[in-house]
Copies of this chain bind each other. A is one copy, B any other.
Amino acid sequence: MSEPNVLRAAVVGAGYWGPNLARNFATSDRWELAAVCDLDAGRAARVARASGGADVETSLDELLARDDVDAVAIATPARSHHAITMAALRAGKHVVVEKPIADSAALADEMVAEAEARGLVLMTDHTFCYTPAVRKIRELVEAGELGDLLYIDSVRINLGLIQPDVDVFWDLAPHDLSIVDFVLPGGLRPVSVAAHGGDPLGTGKACVGYLFMPLESGAVVNVHVNWLSPTKIRRITIGGSKRTLVWDDLNPQQRLSVYDRGVDYEQIVADGEERRAATVSYRLGDTWSPALPEREALGQMVTELADAIGEARAPLTDGRAGRRVLGVLEAASSSLAAGGTAVTPYLERELEISA
Contact = CB atoms under 8 A, between A and B. Distances in A.
A198 interface: yes
B201 A265 contact: yes
Given A159-B263, A263-B162, A198 B218 contact: yes
Given A196-B222, A198-B219, A340-B212, A284 B288 contact: no
Total identical chains: 4
A168 to B, nearest CB: 11
A341 to B, nearest CB: 7
Contacts of A186: none
Contact of A151 (B148, B198, B217, B263): B198
Contacts of A289: 286-289
Interface in A163-220: 194, 196-203, 207-208, 210, 212, 214, 217-220
Chain A interface: which size bin?
35 or more
A291 B280 contact: no
A239 interface: yes
Most chain B beta carbons < 10 A, residue from A196, A208, A284, A342: A196
B261 A230 contact: yes
A254 interface: yes
Interface string A300-319: 00000000000000000000
